[in-house]
Amino acid sequence: MKKRPVVVVTRRLPDVTETRLRELFDTRLNLEDKPLSAQELADAVKTADVLVPTITDEIDAAVLEQAGPNLKLIANFGNGVDNIDVSAAVAKGIAVTNTPGVLTEDTADMTMALILAVARRIPEGARVIPDGNWAGWSPTWMLGRRITGKRLGIVGMGRIGQALARRAKAFGLSIHYHNRRHVPPKIEAELEATYWESLDQMLARMDIVSVNCPHTPATYHLLSARRLKLMKPDAILVNTARGEIIDEGALTKLIEAGAIAGAGLDVFEEEPAVNPRLVRLARQGKVVLLPHMGSATHEGRVAMGEKVIVNIRAFVDGHKPPDRVLPSML
């Protein structure tokens, strides 16, 4: 009988995913759902045939150097692979896969929710009644900003950016985008989207900016201090991609100074740590902070698990995994 591959899973996954993994493979689960320590991660790569990490696991060259000879696949439970040194993995003959496409609608929903939350001051309003601070309706109290008729600049017009554009168009927003290249003419026409080759020029003219590009070495601090200063003082910035894409310190200073009106952030540079100054701004109602929950739906997590299983099965059966990631793709 063929030996079942050892699959090490670094965090708790949906029950249906864990059950199926145990049916198919010799699966080692993390029942406590605590991030693995450096030593535990080293032990995992030494013993596994397949590693199933998440975005909280830093699989860098130092970790990969400790990998045992049997580790041949890293099946990431996540859309991105910025937690994995893909080049180092491939150099050691280890394939890397991810779970693209299944989180598109969920993340676009949350991005649109953050745009509304910041513009209409929803979290502030939601606290008023529970805190016992409501004295009744007033014509000049808790005024937010109308989004209909405003310009939305999308940084990164991939699946999520396009899904956001469809939602935003229904809310009456004018769609603008910056991307490495034009989206197909049919999609651009459907979304009535305006392409900006210059990110600088787009940022200076938008009422709302949404970050929806992947985190790669090329996009680290893509929204730098210099670029953030180009934004209009009444503009808002939303990020549901990765915290490292924005210079968080510079953004905080600009909001504190009133040079940017506000922000909605679901991701942070030093997760799970959050800049205390951002927390203070949240208490003042100037930013909305969410704990990286843009893709957190039951349906999305189960779909991610299904992709992990498909990738592992294809690889174990000697086929090319459908979601393989290569250095040239990053």
Q: What is the number of other CB atoms lying within 10 angstroms of the CB of residue 321?
A: 22
Query: Pairing relation of β-strands 236-239 and 262-265?
Result: parallel
State the DSSP H helix or E strand holding residue 114, giving kind and residue range, or none if neither. helix 104-119
> 55-77, pLDDT tens digit by residue?
889 999 999 999 999 999 999 99
Closest to 304 (Cα-Cα) out of 18, 7, 5, 4: 18
Indicate if 271 belongs to the active site.
yes
**Which whole-number Å values give the CA distances from 162 to 79, 87, 108, 261, in the listed order?**
16, 29, 9, 25
Give me the catalytic one of 176, 215, 227, 242: 242
> 241-286, pLDDT tens digit by residue?
999 999 999 999 999 999 999 999 999 999 999 999 999 999 999 9
> 146-175, pLDDT tens digit by residue?
999 999 999 999 999 999 999 999 999 999
Is residue 240 within 8 A of residue 211, CB to CB? The reply is yes
Give me the catalytic one of 205, 271, 277, 324: 271
pLDDT exceeds cutoff 60 at 18: yes
Is residue 327 within 8 A of residue 90, CB to CB? The reply is yes
Mean pLDDT of the chain: 96
Q: Which residues contact 43 (CB under 8 A, 6 or more apart)?
A: none
Largest CA distance in the chain: 76
CA distance 241 to 231: 19
Over residues 114-142, the mean pLDDT reads 96
CA distance 284 to 29: 42
Structure-token pair, residue 206: 């938008």
Structure-token pair, residue 298: 């039951």
> 73-102, pLDDT tens digit by residue?
999 999 889 899 999 999 999 999 999 999
Torsions phi, psi for 8 (to 5 deg) = -105, 125
* pLDDT score, position 329: 74
Cis peptide before 214 (omega within 30 of 0): no
CA distance 285 to 141: 14
CA distance 119 to 208: 9
What's the whole-model pTM score?
0.91
> 174-210, pLDDT tens digit by residue?
999 999 999 999 999 999 999 999 999 999 999 999 9
CA distance 82 to 210: 20
* pLDDT score, position 79: 86
Indicate if 292 belongs to the active site.
yes
Structure-token pair, residue 212: 């929806």
Q: Which residues contact 217 (CB under 8 A, 6 or more apart)?
A: none
Secondary structure of residue 243 in the 3-state scheme: helix
pLDDT exceeds cutoff 90 at 330: no
* pLDDT score, position 3: 85
- What type of residue sits at position 113? A
**CB-side neighbour CA atoms (13 Å) of 22:** 10
Secondary structure of residue 146 in the 3-state scheme: coil
Q: Which residues contact 200 (CB under 8 A, 6 or more apart)?
A: 227, 230
The dihedral formed by the CA atoms of 294, 297, 302 and 305, expressed in degrees to the nearest 10: 20
**Which residue in this structure is represented by tokens 């090490």?**
8
CA distance 139 to 83: 49
Structure-token pair, residue 194: 């305006």
- Looking at the chain, the number of H-run helices and the number of E-run strands are 13, 12
- What type of residue sits at position 65? E
- What type of residue sits at position 283? R
Over residues 131-160, the mean pLDDT reads 96
